[in-house]
Chain A
């Protein structure tokens, strides 16, 4: 997929002034965090599970070569064909070859972030093969020619009216004037349309939530059951998975499953968790005759060797996104590429370069909620700071940041001047802010439109930290 991450500032600006998007985001904030909290409260051992899950991923990543070799050996023993792909182009070409060999014209697709990463849909369309997304959210955004705005809720930025419009303009076999106000009605229509696509597809493509080295199995999790129809009905099945998906054993996969859905949607478990091991066997009445697994590097081995190795623990639950105040303000599209929120702000610069996506790590208040809710305890704020540092060193930071930091450095090296400037600024703003008509907040402030345009700025306390510290005699209270 083409990136617009370089114009993040403009993207974010547009998002803040998009009334429909803001309406959808308002609803979003109330949903996932509340459900996750309830699920965690119902599981007293949640923190112990997190620790165990983290240990599993650290161990698997530290032995990635050995586990991938074992996975491959077991998968091939069960009749799966394993393909190693160094980058997105290699993966696209391999998918195309398999499609050509099987004569596939229509491809059913389960939601796959790796599929988004390698832009498989656009690529197949250009080659005359028709991919049909089957996850309801992915299907809706495919009709609208949009990328997903959230890794687990791809159409979360849309209202039901926008969904109805998309159905009206694409489902031409249905009467133009049919009622489409209720989500139930829209779902029934999408189910009927997509059922025919499932039955027609010669080939199915899904992602993978995990790969199990012990057995050579692919683990796939969905709520709709679209992943299972995709990997059961077509004659040929392709799984695209990045390298870090491999875990040692079925028990290890089980532990991770216990934290995945709770962190994502607040369910104890997603409705369908499926362990698939190879193609149809003797006597089987259904299932694909051919199963291919693509193991994709696409930047992972580089992260394995640098300070972002811990990011490879990510299981794509979306908890960091669901709890991010920046995401809640601008939604996912502003990030400009496949991923979004804190995990996106770390992953995107690593996968497509700091030159293209250097601004994303600045899209954070470093409030720390992302790390707090991450089931894998990935130190996202630390990584965001490291990327900011990298961007600064590459002299890629915005001019305002560079000059601002130089100005601050000038003052900070001159203590008397620093104290004077601070007491004037903080004291003055504090006094104005506490005026009755302001009520402790600024609705507008000159030179700070970027902040006050969409939110209030709390007025400073009126005294600097240093003043308060010396009033207390330099002691903690």
Chain B
């Protein structure tokens, strides 16, 4: 195995005509890795505050996500019940064991069956938090971890995501900055998911269809007020 590594690195160095340990190149590479810099951030990714919120909603709906806005987490159970009812779904939800969602008063909707944990094949509806929303393209950013199992984002037919309004940022680069501030430079959660609308395919005669393997529907509940988590700036 290490033979192949040396063979390949040797071929690369010969092809690049590196005759000696290239200190200059190594220094440039180290500098780039130590201080990651943003390249071009388009105007569309520079919005802030209300503009960013409006842009996020516009872009998310453009890619077939649905959104609604509520004042606080206390309103979530009633909205979830109404959403399931409108979609003609059983009142059963698998919820991420996310401390940010612990304050949701599910007992206000006694008919909703709430379980927490990862998703199984028979879960039709999941509810998760979100690390960030990117206004530029209406993209949700979710990080994996014990409080946020990745299967919840992909196995169920319906994905309901809670996004605190103060977590909406302009660009993807803003989310990397927030992530580094929280976890440290170069440290990544096991999975970072960018989710831009519900699953889709156009593999049969280029006909656009939603719900290929991931969720058929993505519903984003925007929650006003400050989120409880420490990672937001």
State whether these chains interact: yes
In the bound assembly, the distance between CA atoms of A213 and B4 in angstroms comes to: 20
Whether B200 and A271, one on each chain, are in contact in the complex, defined by CB atoms closer than 8 angstroms, is yes
Q: Indicate if A252 sits at the interface (CB-CB under 8 A).
A: yes
Whether A191 and B213, one on each chain, are in contact in the complex, defined by CB atoms closer than 8 angstroms, is yes
Min CB–CB distance B130 → chain A (angstroms): 14
Q: Indicate if A7 sits at the interface (CB-CB under 8 A).
A: no
Q: Indicate if B68 sits at the interface (CB-CB under 8 A).
A: no
In the bound assembly, the distance between CA atoms of A388 and B173 in angstroms comes to: 43
Q: Indicate if A215 sits at the interface (CB-CB under 8 A).
A: yes
**Contact A248-B33, Cβ < 8 Å, known A187-B204, A225-B199, A276-B190:** yes
**Contact A136-B196, Cβ < 8 Å, known A45-B42, A251-B38:** no
Min CB–CB distance B14 → chain A (angstroms): 7
In the bound assembly, the distance between CA atoms of A44 and B46 in angstroms comes to: 14
Whether A84 and B214, one on each chain, are in contact in the complex, defined by CB atoms closer than 8 angstroms, is no
In the bound assembly, the distance between CA atoms of A175 and B184 in angstroms comes to: 56
Whether B37 and A251, one on each chain, are in contact in the complex, defined by CB atoms closer than 8 angstroms, is yes
Q: Indicate if A255 sits at the interface (CB-CB under 8 A).
A: yes
Q: Indicate if A254 sits at the interface (CB-CB under 8 A).
A: yes
Whether A295 and B193, one on each chain, are in contact in the complex, defined by CB atoms closer than 8 angstroms, is no
Which of B9, B145, B191, B195 has a CB less than 8 Å from the CB of A276? B191
Min CB–CB distance B4 → chain A (angstroms): 4
Mark the stretch among A278-286, A373-381, A394-402 that contacts chain B.
A278-286
Q: 1/0 per residue A381-411: CB within 8 Å of B?
A: 0000000000000000000000000000000
Whether A277 and B195, one on each chain, are in contact in the complex, defined by CB atoms closer than 8 angstroms, is no
Min CB–CB distance B63 → chain A (angstroms): 7
**Contact A183-B209, Cβ < 8 Å, known A249-B32, A271-B196:** yes
Chain B residues with CB under 8 Å of A24's CB are 205
Whether A66 and B25, one on each chain, are in contact in the complex, defined by CB atoms closer than 8 angstroms, is yes
Whether A90 and B4, one on each chain, are in contact in the complex, defined by CB atoms closer than 8 angstroms, is yes
Which of B5, B40, B136 has a CB less than 8 Å from the CB of A49? B40
Chain B residues with CB under 8 Å of A271's CB are 63, 195-200, 214
Which of B36, B137, B151 has a CB less than 8 Å from the CB of A232? B151
Whether B197 and A44, one on each chain, are in contact in the complex, defined by CB atoms closer than 8 angstroms, is no
Min CB–CB distance A204 → chain B (angstroms): 13
Most buried by B among A65, A140, A224: A65
Min CB–CB distance B233 → chain A (angstroms): 18
Whether A137 and B203, one on each chain, are in contact in the complex, defined by CB atoms closer than 8 angstroms, is yes
**Contact A156-B213, Cβ < 8 Å, known A70-B33, A214-B186, A272-B194:** no
Whether A254 and B203, one on each chain, are in contact in the complex, defined by CB atoms closer than 8 angstroms, is no
Whether A249 and B12, one on each chain, are in contact in the complex, defined by CB atoms closer than 8 angstroms, is no
Q: Indicate if A63 sits at the interface (CB-CB under 8 A).
A: yes
Q: Indicate if B189 sits at the interface (CB-CB under 8 A).
A: yes
Chain B residues with CB under 8 Å of A281's CB are 145, 190
Q: Indicate if A184 sits at the interface (CB-CB under 8 A).
A: yes
Min CB–CB distance B98 → chain A (angstroms): 12
Min CB–CB distance A239 → chain B (angstroms): 13
**Contact A251-B212, Cβ < 8 Å, known A63-B25, A286-B150:** no
Tally the A-B contacts, defined by beta carbons under 8 Å. 260
In the bound assembly, the distance between CA atoms of A228 and B7 in angstroms comes to: 33
Q: Indicate if B192 sits at the interface (CB-CB under 8 A).
A: yes
**Contact A229-B188, Cβ < 8 Å, known A140-B203, A243-B8, A255-B39:** no
Chain B residues with CB under 8 Å of A272's CB are 193-196, 199, 214
Min CB–CB distance B200 → chain A (angstroms): 5
Which of B8, B146, B194, B200 has a CB less than 8 Å from the CB of A274? B194
Q: Which of B1-52 contact A (CB under 8 A)?
A: 1, 4-5, 7-9, 11-16, 18, 25-26, 28-29, 32-33, 36-40, 42-44
**Contact A191-B212, Cβ < 8 Å, known A225-B199, A251-B36:** yes
Q: Which of A162-194 contact B (CB under 8 A)?
A: 163, 183-184, 186-187, 191, 194
Whether A156 and B198, one on each chain, are in contact in the complex, defined by CB atoms closer than 8 angstroms, is no
Chain A residues with CB under 8 Å of B200's CB are 223-224, 271
Min CB–CB distance B81 → chain A (angstroms): 26
Chain B residues with CB under 8 Å of A274's CB are 191-194
Q: Which of A256-312 contact B (CB under 8 A)?
A: 257-258, 265, 267-281, 283-287, 295, 297, 301-302, 304-305, 309
In the bound assembly, the distance between CA atoms of A443 and B190 in angstroms comes to: 62
Chain A residues with CB under 8 Å of B197's CB are 271
Q: Indicate if B139 sits at the interface (CB-CB under 8 A).
A: yes
Min CB–CB distance A141 → chain B (angstroms): 10
Q: Footprint of B on A, CB under 8 Å?
A: 24, 27-28, 31, 43-45, 48-49, 51-52, 56, 59, 62-70, 72, 74, 78, 83-86, 90, 134-137, 140, 153-156, 158-160, 163, 183-184, 186-187, 191, 194-195, 198-199, 213-217, 223-226, 228-229, 232-233, 243, 248-252, 254-255, 257-258, 265, 267-281, 283-287, 295, 297, 301-302, 304-305, 309
- 5 A-B pairs besides A85-B4, A272-B214, A286-B119 with CB distance below 8 A are A45-B43, A84-B8, A183-B205, A214-B33, A224-B213
